[in-house]
Chain A
Amino acid sequence: MAAAAPPLKDELDIVIPTIRNLDFLEMWRPFFQPYHLIIVQDGDPSKTIKVPDGFDYELYNRNDINKILGPRSSCISFKDSACRCFGYMVSKKKYIFTIDDDCFVANDPSGKQINALEQHIKNLLCPSTPLFFNTLYDPFREGADFVRGYPFSLREGVPTAVSHGLWLNIPDYDAPTQLVKPRERNSRYVDAVLTIPKGTLFPMCGMNLAFDRDLIGPAMYFGLMGDGQPIGRYDDMWAGWCIKVICDHLGLGVKTGLPYIWHSKASNPFVNLKKEYKGIFWQEEIIPFFQSATLSKDSTTVQKCYLELSKQVEEKLGKVDPYFVKLADAMETWIQAWDELNPTKAN
């Protein structure tokens, strides 16, 4: 039980997409109850999703999304957890923590329950070090520091925009890997937080993720997935590639590692394969695109970066599949919607 006031209590929103129920919140109650929740209800809006008593929350279903965004609601996915990014857009807070409804509290090797939110906050509040790799991982963690040979001019670090957590039990594998290794469980607790170096891309998983809305929010669009779309399970990947290119350009940091949550549900690999199938081929083109994407010096805000990126997506990935033309368009729509709902932050 924490004795001190919950950190960032009034500056952080917890965004949870759900289509079933929020029973998982009971286990998180000691850690989440002080915070405001934004529930994004996917699927049938006529269904009532009960939020456990005692939580302070706002809930949006599809009808709400359509009402608030009007025609721009076309950029928010339906029947896919990508819809969670609507929660990022309507939030009025500086920080967001997002978690899936099948993720529970994990224990560390000593058996103690892990307060994932607290660790994400620590990650976000101390600098990242993308310009030079520290072999002892996060130098700002207690019990660590920069190693011999680490340039002093780089020891201040840069602001941290994203904190990417990991998962014990069911790992975040793609469908082919799930099919080949249905029984594999992640039982390795790696006691590290580290900054993903500048110029390096990574697969960003949206299951256990936190970020600074002020620094990177407009780039956290989770794309067009689910109903009516040719692809699924690439929402967070897409956002991850976009935010990394933009963070690298703007001099912001992305961390990965702790905290762990306990991922309880393995989704059906055959269903997953159908959703991911196109993505598996497309990503072979998408990755080189992002690896070589450069943004102009004039793109000094996240929105400008994102719009510049969307034009490049249309130009270069449009030839891979018309889906990317639609996606580029949706990226623009997203920024318009973001700026409208967040006027003081618009450039």
Chain B
Amino acid sequence: MSQFTIKDDEVDIVIGALQPDLTSFMEQWRPFFSRFHLIIVQDPDLKGELKIPEGFNLNLYTKSDIDKVVGSSSNAISFSGYSCRYFGYLMSRNKYIISIDDDCIPAKNSNGEPIDAISQHIINLTTPATPFFFNTLYDPFCEGADFVRGYPFSLRSGVECGLSCGLWLNLADYDAPTQSLKPDLKNSRYVDAVLTVPARTMLPVSGINISFNNELVGPALLPAFRLAKEGKVRWETVEDIWTGMCVKVVCDHLRLGVKSGLPYVWRQERGNAVESLKKEWEGVKLMEDVVPFFQSVRLSESAVTAEDCVVEIASSVKEHLGPLNPTFDRAAETMVEWIKLWKRVRAN
């Protein structure tokens, strides 16, 4: 594997707990999690105490912790459901954050051995990205690969990687309409590649299996886009899609890279696509408006940090998308609140 000389204490693994019993999840990940510090955030809507096995170095945050930091007024930022993990990001002081949904377990390679998704994310984050020109052999920094003939030499040192998006075997991250139409469609194709998503190209960032450089882009991983009927299965959310587009705009502007591909995790069945179809439809419609906006938004030269970028994006959202739907207006306001919260928490 490539050399990566980061210290274990530079990493936080943040898990949003949407189910009460994390035993099976944590035991399956134990070989890969145990070296690192974990932050577990319990969905504030989930009542009762979480079951977590012993032997991990972790901090657990629950509703009362969230209320203490954020306040419990009705217009405070909501960390309910999948958004609970953002509280973990807020609390983290480490450079690299890796986050996996609690219904995913390690995938297996062709020898039947579990795949260390954590190591792969760390490799992705600590090797350069190449967003300005496409390398046809994918990640040129991977062992056994390189830049191909015709790749400009001045672009071969690459840029820092801000975000690494992993993939899913078994239950892929399809939307409810797709999964309802093709209930037997399971992802069994293991694509052995990591690639940089080119600059100015948008993508759907799934929060299921993700990691990022907290120092570079942390503030842009934000809980802003809530559907009116957002639910507790991924088919009933688009919050990560919104956040992902914000992060991509930020990375493109700050000349950072976004990678996609390995590692895979094995995603287990949960929920009913047909049921979710009724709820997620609103999100599907809203995304159509959102895409042209994100593809064309440009930030000013004075936006030199992720915080600056988020504030500018929020202002642009309010101006251009706000009039289309109140959800966008709320998203813009939440983004601004989030940055204030981020700065306040960091200052303490």
Contact = CB atoms under 8 A, between A and B. Distances in A.
Interface stretch (A25-33, A183-191, A295-303): A183-191
B209 to A, nearest CB: 10
B190 interface: yes
A243 B154 CA distance: 23
A237 B136 contact: no
B201 A188 contact: no
Nearest to A187: B144
B241 A205 contact: no
A326 B53 CA distance: 72
A192 B134 contact: no
A233 interface: yes
Nearest to A174: B149
Contact of A197 (B198, B205, B284, B287): B198
Contact of B244 (A149, A177, A181, A197): A149
Interface stretch (A34-42, A44-52, A73-81, A140-148): A140-148
A324 interface: no
Contacts of B153: 280, 283-284
A329 interface: no
A24 interface: no
B175 A149 contact: yes
B200 A201 contact: no
Contact of B205 (A109, A149, A201): A149
B173 A188 contact: no
User: Which one of B137, B145, B260, B284 has the highest number of Cβ atoms from chain A below 10 Å of its Cβ?
Assistant: B137
A244 to B, nearest CB: 9
A163 interface: no
B216 to A, nearest CB: 21
A171 B138 contact: no
Given A200-B133, A201-B133, A191 B244 contact: no
A120 interface: no
Interface stretch (A150-158, A222-230, A306-314, A338-346): A150-158
A46 B289 CA distance: 64
A75 B165 CA distance: 46
A148 B241 contact: yes
Nearest to A237: B150
- Chain B interface secondary structure, helix, strand, loop or mixed? loop
A145 B177 CA distance: 11
Contacts of A137: 191
Interface string B189-213: 1111100011111111110000000
Contact of B288 (A148, A151, A196): A151
Interface stretch (B26-34, B60-68, B116-124, B180-188): B180-188
A205 B150 CA distance: 9
Contacts of A150: 175, 204
Q: Range of interface residues on chain B? A: 35 or more
B274 interface: no
Interface stretch (A11-19, A57-65, A90-98, A128-136): A128-136
Given A151-B288, A200-B198, A287 B133 contact: yes
A154 to B, nearest CB: 8
A322 interface: no
Nearest to B195: A194
B56 interface: no
Nearest to A155: B178
B291 interface: yes
A148 B190 contact: no
B234 interface: yes
B175 A148 contact: yes
Nearest to A166: B136
Contacts of B136: 164, 166, 172, 202-203, 205, 256
Given A151-B288, A188-B144, A192-B191, A283 B134 contact: no
B79 interface: no
Given A133-B197, A149-B205, A177 B147 contact: yes
10 contacts: A136-B172, A149-B287, A171-B148, A173-B147, A181-B146, A186-B137, A191-B190, A201-B133, A240-B150, A283-B152
